[in-house]
A and B are shown apart, each in its own frame.
Chain A
Amino acid sequence: MNKIMNLNIGGIVFHVDENAYKKLKNYLEEINKHFKNTPGGDEIINDIESRIVELFQQKLNSKKEVISMEDVDDVISVMGKPSDFEEEKDYSDPDVRQVGKKRLFRDIDNRMIGGVCSGLGAYFKLDTVWFRLAFVIATLSGLSILAYIILWIIIPPARTISEKLEMQGDPVTVSNIERSIREEMGNLRDKIDDLASQARNQFRKKNY
């Protein structure tokens, strides 16, 4: 005979056979994980737990006081696994992996010195020129060179594509990353074209 464990579901304590306990616990955790990040997730989890309590109570009586493996299997097949809840999935946008949070980075693609001003411009959605102007004016008062160097040190540069998206406040989605890669590829192609035409010109000059 297996050990009997106590399990609290939705505020009600059940006596559960040890093996059944493990399975049930895993199942409840799976549900928790599945709904944790959906809107109203806590409420959904509570509702599902109350229903499980109800189903168990229907199985118990004065002669049967312990939840067995069979009972757990039965409840899981009635409720379904979170992967069976697929029917609901399409309502949310699966493309958004992470809500785009904005972070301050140095914009090293558009930098003049360290990318501090261009990063501030991207963060505050203001033209970089205003920050540069402010720094130049402040330089006359003698403070801003030190400030610039400190900012240069403490603000990380946006190196990866997802960091660049975060810098601009775009959500990090697969399609946004794809767009950024396309843009970068486009830039690269332009540069190669430039180089190629320069080389061609050089070559022509030599032939004269």
Chain B
Amino acid sequence: MKLEKTNAQMRKGVLELCILSIISNKEAYTSNILSDLKEAQLLVVEGTIYPLLTRLKNDGLLSYRWEESTSGPPRKYFSLTEDGNNVLGSLKSNWVQLSDSVNSLINLKPDNDE
């Protein structure tokens, strides 16, 4: 139970970075983002993403346009704003640094020679 909570916290931290970078590759519709995130096992329930997208949009990192769909309700296609691009850049470099240090830390082997 507690392990699950820790895992969720970890995912939460990187979710924004992942959403921004999915959208930076191509203009994306919520379902695209969802399937990419689920494939990467970064998302447990879909509901989590909606408050996040709305917040990123309200913070001015994302913008969207509506597109009619032949098979359902109109879809929101998201793209990054200039601010979003800048934030993505700094999040990315931060992530590389963080993952490097964490990897080197958890791969430290205990000294068994002596």
Question: Is A78 a contact of B48 with CB atoms below 8 Å?
Answer: no
**Interface size in chain A (residues, C-beta < 8 A):** 30
Question: Is A87 a contact of B58 with CB atoms below 8 Å?
Answer: no
Question: Is B46 a contact of A87 with CB atoms below 8 Å?
Answer: no
Q: Nearest chain-A residue to B11 (Cβ)?
A: A87
If over half of B's interface residues share one DSSP class (helix, strand or loop), that class is named, otherwise mixed; here it is helix
Question: Is B8 a contact of A86 with CB atoms below 8 Å?
Answer: yes
Q: Nearest chain-B residue to A90 (Cβ)?
A: B12
Interface contacts (Cβ under 8 Å), in number, total 75
Indicate with 1 or 0, residue by residue over B8-45, a CB within 8 angstroms of chain A CB atoms: 11011001000000000000001100000000000011
Q: Nearest chain-B residue to A39 (Cβ)?
A: B58
If over half of A's interface residues share one DSSP class (helix, strand or loop), that class is named, otherwise mixed; here it is helix
5 interchain residue pairs of minimum CB distance = A80-B45, A40-B54, A80-B47, A50-B73, A87-B12
Residues of B within 8 A of A (CB): 8-9, 11-12, 15, 30-31, 44-48, 50-55, 57-58, 71-76
15 CB < 8 A contacts A-B: A12-B73, A44-B50, A44-B51, A48-B47, A50-B74, A51-B30, A79-B47, A80-B45, A80-B47, A80-B48, A87-B8, A87-B12, A87-B15, A87-B48, A88-B51
